[in-house]
Structure 1
Amino acid sequence: MISFRAFVVAAGATLALTSAHTPAAAQKSTEVEKLNAYVGCINRLSSRSRESESRYFSWAPKSGPTGKERIIYGTYTIYDTDDCKKNVEAANQLEPRDAALETAASAYVNAVTTLGPLLKEADDYYTQENYKDDKMAKGKAMHPKLVAAWNDFSVADKMLRANVDVINDKRKLEALKEIEAKEGKKTRYYVEAIMIDAKRVVRLQDTDKPDIEAITKAVSDYEASVKGFEDANAADSGKVSSMFTSNAKSVLVTAKQLMRRIRDKVPYTSGQKMMMQPGSEWMVEGSPGRLLRDYNQLVGAYNSIAKFGMR
């Protein structure tokens, strides 16, 4: 089975932080500002950085371009990194100080600001078809630099996400407990529980050696949260839109399909293998790409219900 990690990184599941419903100690505006600076870099730059690598290797061999390829696409550039660098430098000075988080953020900036100019140089070279003039000499010379930059970025991206997730997960769980204490397990409680449980399901696929027992438990917990939400929302006169409900159930269906594929060691068909590429993998039922697509749509639906005061 293709590692889910590659697709999680490539697709760049959206991260979001808000200051609402956090415990008193976590409601300082500087904490939110600090974390949002890091999340802003991830949301703006990570997906495009991974897409640039996928684009390049969609035509170039792992060993590097030869100039004899039937089709030469080049690569993608990424957005300007100046704002990311500036925001991270400022955020690293804000309270609460966190050495591991700040180090990860600085490493991310170093990696992405190194990658950006290389991609611009490569894009110019391939867009202008300069490889036709130098027999791919520069393309061959750039290849190891690009690979090293993508590898460094992948490590830095994963590390920053992990550090942000630790803090965000803690805040989400504390917020859920506060909601339960104040309101009980009603609609708003289950909305938040769904998001926490869905993220856990996705994360458990993000490994080369998935733990099927942990995945099965996580899917079961998520299913219970979806059922609890449906019952609570019905009792609340359908306060939350049907779009959120539909997206939550789509995640559940795909999570179960992928769980069964892992548990029963169901191989992909030859046709499915051809589609198992960034940008088209979501079309394969029970695939990591489909789960990630469904999860991102759930995040979008979750963000859209803020107007109902559910967050």
Structure 2
Amino acid sequence: MALIGRFLFVLAVALAPAAAAAQPAKTQNARPATVQVPTLDEDGIEAWSEKLDRYASVLTDTIRAWPNVLRYMSSFNFRTGPTGKEDSVYHLYELDPERFAAAVARARELAREAPAMPELDRAAEAFAQAIEGMPAVFNEAAAYYGSGEEYRFDRLEKGKALHPRIMAAIEPYLATLPPFLFQAGQTRRALNGQELAMLERRDGKALRWHMRRLHEAGLDAAVHIPTGPRGSFNTAGFEAALKTYAEAVAAFRAWRQSPAGQDDVAAVSRFDLDAPESFLRKLREFPQAYRLRERVNVQWELLVLGAMSDYHDFWAATLKPIQHLRETRRSVVAMKSMPAAKIDVPRLAPDRLEAWREKISRYLRVLTETNSGIDAWHRYRDWVDLKRGPTGRERSVGGLAEIDRGRFAAALAGARRLAATEPRIEALDRLALAYADAAEGIVEIVNEANAYYQRRDHTTDKLAAGKALHPKLMAAFEPFLAARGALSETVQNVRASLDAQWIAVIEARDGRTRDWHRERILLLGREVNDSIAGSASRDLAAFDAALARFAEAVKDLDDAAARREVQGGELASRARAYLGAVRDYRGKLGQPGRHPSLIDGERSSLGLQYSIMVGVAER
């Protein structure tokens, strides 16, 4: 804790002389006030942690201003500005006005939100005021001090005119960044002990625990890096902190490769979980660059100038999966469930088997035709806190999805007719009737809520109607989800039993012909395709079992073709390609070193390959 204080205290004193001079004498060089973190229960820890993480995002979203400040102050005398006699000038970067505006709005909003952190909230508001106008000033300066090097053509005459405006932006930035950064870091470190203990007790040393630990250890290493190329570098302290951070990275790497880690990581594949490794490689460059700085100073200068941006990139990367896991946990509520029916499918004669298969196929169509109900639920669940309902503090309001009344009603009427037709499958038919009743109950309330959010009424009534609609939505969704889950699972289980009988019928009737292999490839391939969605939610056991059965079917077709018993042809080729792609996908679930968007992209690609295989098989 003291280390962070020393670092930011030095930052405030060494890099903000003009800002300090503008302050009353009694406040110059004063250490920012310390935020006191009370002993908190689990809800309190989560509330403090989320607010601190959102304050951190204000810093990470605006950190691009820092290298501009450092580069400008390294190029020119702080007070006099450009003279036209400078040997070299660092280029400046453009700042994203929209990103800065969003960060300013977020800081001001957080400062008014509970839990109150008075010292930090005041620092955040002051920082927001300081950075509000920075993009306009620095983007004009970046055009001048950019790759076009306009300053070379007028011998810095425009630079002299820009200097007062640039300094007017830099001075409040340097006056407000240190206290905000200090208090955000100090409060986070004070809370970390409680949060890490809570996470280990509740979830074990899983992904969020590792992300928080990595950030803590990464900060301990980063604070040893000097704020400018001419600053002192405590190599012994840095090496000790680097060793601790490397150990945290190694522990995270080992956890990622464990079965539990692979399961957890599969659910957050779109995030950059390799950022801790990248940051470690960057940190390891500092000691050698420092030792060689007398002979090769440029590497040391570039490392130091980019150090804070590198740290904040790492910080942002660790925050994203933490927030995702927090939102995922918040979206889970205790809801009533309905068990799937246990149906022992009898050995059926071929004509009865065909009738059962047709009925199951029609039940599947009922589920497909009512998908808009589950789509509405998923869309609502993705943005709202299901326990509390809309609060008005959401980052975005996603609404729901409209249900087509006519299509929904026709599907549910079909389910009721189907339940009364032969062959009677009593337990399944009862579930279908329960589903029809429950599904009817969501239509009006979902469409009312969808219209409210689609009209953007929530922007004018501060979500008052949204808050009133929430308990009604939950009361309607609960029986719908329970009945749909039970019906879907039962239908899938019965279909699997019927498919096995159907393959046996073909074999008994015709032998292991090409049609037998084709049907087997189709049926087991469908199991794999269906289970890929389960792999996204970490249902890997079912996925692996389906994949093993499909792999056996593909090899059996290849072996039969090799013995010239059947023609493998394009079907065998497409089946092999699909199997190989699925196995590659399975290998990448939880695997370190992949691009964050890889899993989502491959899941879509697998659906296309499956469709091509089915098209070839059904010719």
Q: Distance in 2 between matches of 1:72 and 1:124?
A: 13
- TM-score (structure 1 length as normaliser): 0.69
User: What's the CA shift for 1:112?
Assistant: 1.7
* 1:251, distance to aligned residue in structure 2 (A): 4.7
Shift of 1:143: 1.7
1:79 pairs with one of 389, 404, 410 = 404
Residue 373 of structure 2 corresponds to: 49
| Residue pair 2:588, 2:599 contacting (<8 A) in 1 also | no
Q: Which amino acid aligns with 1:25?
A: R
The aligned counterpart of 1:221 is 549
- Structure 2 unaligned spans of 5+: 1-262, 268-327, 329-348
1:59 corresponding residue in structure 2: 383
- CA deviations 1:155-191 (Å, max 9, x no partner) are 2222112222233222211211122223332322222
1:297 to 1:144, Cα distance in 2 relative to 1, 3 A: farther
Structure 2 distance, partners of 1:154, 1:59, is 18
Contact 1:114 1:149 in 2 (8 A): yes
Matched-pair contact (CA < 8 Å) for 1:186–1:229:
no
CA contact (8 A) 2:412 2:436 kept: yes
CA contact (8 A) 2:431 2:483 kept: yes
Question: Per-residue deviation at 1:40?
Answer: 1.7
Partner of 2:117: none
Change (3 A) 1:117 1:293: farther
Question: How many Å separate the matches in 2 of 1:253 and 1:232?
Answer: 22
Task: Identify the residue that residue 421 of structure 2 maps to in structure 1.
Answer: 94
1:202-259 C-alpha deviation (Å, 9 max, x unpaired): 55984988575x76565333212113334556855566x55x8536633553245426
Q: Indicate the residue corresponding to 1:282 in structure 2.
A: 600
2:573 counterpart of 1:249: no
Q: Deviations over 1:237-283 (max 9, x none)?
A: 566x55x853663355324542674xxx64797x73xx6xxxx9632
Moved more, 193-202 or 128-137: 193-202
Following TM superposition, by how much is the alpha carbon of 1:124 offset from its aligned partner in structure 2, in angstroms? 0.8
Work out whether residues 88 and 105 of structure 1, in 8 Å CA contact, stay in contact via their aligned partners in 2.
yes
Shift of 1:42: 0.8
**Residue 298 in 1 paired to residue 610 in 2?**
yes
Distance in 1, matches of 2:543 and 2:398, equals 38
| Match 2:495 to one of 168, 187, 195 | 168
Residues 65, 143 of structure 1: 8 Å contact kept: yes
The aligned runs of 1:1-311 (5 Å cut-off) are: 1=263, 23-28=350-355, 31=356, 34-46=359-371, 48-62=372-386, 63-80=388-405, 81-201=408-528, 203=531, 206=534, 218-230=546-558, 232=560, 241=570, 245-246=573-574, 249-255=577-583, 257-258=585-586, 261=589, 266=591, 272=596, 282-283=600-601, 285=602, 290=603, 294=606, 298=610, 301-302=613-614, 305-306=617-618, 308=619
8 Å contact kept, 2:353–2:502: no
Displacement after TM superposition at 1:136 (Å): 0.9
Post-superposition offset of 1:33: 5.5
For the aligned residue pairs, the C-alpha RMSD in angstroms reads: 3.8
Q: For residue 11 of structure 1, what is the aligned residue in structure 2? A: none
Number of residue pairs matched?
270
- Paired residue secondary structure (2:365): helix
Cα deviation 1:18-64 (Å, max 9, x = unaligned): xxxx8132234xx5664344222111113x33322232233333432
Q: What is the rounded CA distance, in whole Å, between the counterparts of 1:204 and 1:233 in structure 2?
A: 28
Match for 2:614: what amino acid? Y
The whole-number CA distance in structure 2 between the counterparts of 1:120 and 1:194 is 41
In structure 2, how many angstroms separate the alpha carbons of the residues matched to 1:297 and 1:146? 38
Structure 1 partner of 2:227: none
Secondary structure at 2:398's aligned position in 1? coil
Q: How far, CA to CA, are the matches of 2:579 and 2:482 in structure 1?
A: 27
Using the TM superposition, name which of 158-167 and 81-90 deviates more.
158-167
Amino acid at match of 2:553: S
Q: Which has the larger radius of gyration?
A: 2
CA 1:162–1:121 in structure 2 vs 1: closer, same or farther (change >3 Å)? same
- Check the 8 A contact 2:435/2:483 in 1, yes or no: yes
Does the C-alpha gap of structure 1 residues 120 and 255 become closer, same or farther in structure 2, counting only changes over 3 Å?
farther
Q: In structure 1, what is the Cα distance between the partners aligned to 2:586 and 2:519?
A: 23
Q: Confirm or deny: 8 A CA contact 1:66 1:136 kept in the other structure.
A: yes
Gaps of 5+ in 1: 7-21
TM-score, normalised by the number of residues in structure 2 = 0.38
Structure 1 pair 211/131, CA: closer, same or farther in 2 (3 Å)?
closer
State the distance in 2 between where 1:122 and 1:79 align.
14
Residues 197 and 218, structure 1, Cα contact 8 Å, conserved in 2: yes
The answer to which structure, 1 or 2, has the higher relative contact order (CA under 8 A, 6+ apart) is 1
Shift of 1:130: 1.7
Q: Distance in 2 between matches of 1:141 and 1:186?
A: 62
Identity within the alignment, %: 23
> What amino acid does structure 1 have at the position aligned with 2:425?
D
The amino acid of 2:382's aligned partner reads S
CA 1:174–1:304 in structure 2 vs 1: closer, same or farther (change >3 Å)? Answer: same
State whether residues 56 and 75 of structure 1, in contact with CA within 8 Å, keep that contact through their aligned partners in structure 2.
Answer: yes
